């Protein structure tokens, strides 16, 4: 099904990956058939996320005295992508602080944590429930808690509490891949309201309802997969690894 979007950039309507199933299927193919490594993919995504943040929130645009960023990382892949993103932001001279309440037991994810610790990135031991403290200390929050595979009908602590806090913060939220807590298939009215969404590889269905600044980050997907899933990805300019949708 093609329709004219009226936008010069792409002729065909970009097809969001159907449901959880498709996003997961693509990743499985990448790992199994295309022999990408999980560590490799997370590095690619995390770096692309960081570049999206520098586009959406350039250093010069930050209002606080220090270029502080709060990065909230979940226990699984979405969280690790957040860790890599934080590490690259540090290299790009931002000052990320990480809140990573539940660490994964997998050594892969632990490695990403060590890499951040060794970059002298501070890790919070708890998240203030006093929202004003967050508003005052940070320019923005990066939500890297729950990815498209998360079961949002059953969000456990501490994430439900954190989401409650995030609904009240006044500073911008940028979500990695999907806004944590949003139904993967449709936007939730009473979920968090990120200003920026950074879709990885291809947007997920709930992104169709997203009305803020939307980036597609990560430029590595083999053509055969793009064709097979009819992703109709837009043309990235030059050597950019991200594009604003």
Minimum gap (Å) between residue 186 Cβ and a second copy: 32
Cα separation, 183 vs 178, in Å, equals 9
Length of the chain counted residue by residue: 245
The correct pick among 19, 76, 95, 115 for binding a second copy (CB under 8 A) is 115
Cα separation, 149 vs 93, in Å, equals 32
Q: 165: which 2 tokens?
A: 């806090």
Query: Would you give the binding string for a second copy spanning residues 130-169, x where CB under 8 A is met?
Result: ----------------------------------------
Q: 119: which 2 tokens?
A: 């970059």
Asked whether the beta carbons of 103 and 80 are under 8 A apart, the reply is no
164 phi and psi angles, rounded to 5 deg: -60, -45
Binding residues among 52-111 for a second copy as defined by CB under 8 A:
54, 87-88, 91-92, 108, 110-111
Considering only CA atoms, give the Rg of the chain. Answer: 17
Cα separation, 144 vs 50, in Å, equals 12
Cα separation, 125 vs 176, in Å, equals 22
Query: Would you give the binding string for a second copy spanning residues 39-58, x where CB under 8 A is met?
Result: xx--xx--x--xx--x----
Minimum gap (Å) between residue 112 Cβ and a second copy: 8
Residue 10 in the binding site for a second copy (CB under 8 A): no
Terminal Cα-to-Cα distance of the chain (whole angstroms): 19
The correct pick among 7, 9, 34, 133 for binding a second copy (CB under 8 A) is 34
Segment lying near a second copy (by CB under 8 A), choices 17-25, 65-73, 117-125, 170-178? 117-125
The correct pick among 120, 125, 156, 189 for binding a second copy (CB under 8 A) is 120
**Residues in contact with a second copy by the rule CB under 8 A:** 33-37, 39-40, 43-44, 47, 50-51, 54, 87-88, 91-92, 108, 110-111, 114-115, 118-120, 219-220, 222-224, 238-239
């Amino acid at each position: 099904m093609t329709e004219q979007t009226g936008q010069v950039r792409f002729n065909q309507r970009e097809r969001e990956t159907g449901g959880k199933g498709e996003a997961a299927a693509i990743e499985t193919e990448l790992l199994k058939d295309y022999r990408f490594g999980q560590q490799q993919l997370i590095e690619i995504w995390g770096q692309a996320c960081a570049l999206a943040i520098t586009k959406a929130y350039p250093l010069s645009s930050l209002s606080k005295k220090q270029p502080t960023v709060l990065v909230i990382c979940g226990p699984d892949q979405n969280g690790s992508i957040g860790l890599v993103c934080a590490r690259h932001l540090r290299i790009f001279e931002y000052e990320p602080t990480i809140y990573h309440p539940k660490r994964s037991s997998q050594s892969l994810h632990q490695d990403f944590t060590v890499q951040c610790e060794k970059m002298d990135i501070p890790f919070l031991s708890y998240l203030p429930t006093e929202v004003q403290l967050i508003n005052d200390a940070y320019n923005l929050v990066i939500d890297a808690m729950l990815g498209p595979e998360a079961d949002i009908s059953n969000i456990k602590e501490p994430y439900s509490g954190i989401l409650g806090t995030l609904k009240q913060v006044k500073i911008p939220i940028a979500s990695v891949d999907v806004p944590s807590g949003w139904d993967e298939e449709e936007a939730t009215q009473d979920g968090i309201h990120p200003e920026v969404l950074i879709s990885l590889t291809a947007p997920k269905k709930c992104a169709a309802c997203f009305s803020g600044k939307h980036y597609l980050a990560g430029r590595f997907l083999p053509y055969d997969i793009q064709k097979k899933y009819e992703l109709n990805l837009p043309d990235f300019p030059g050597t950019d690894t991200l594009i604003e949708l």
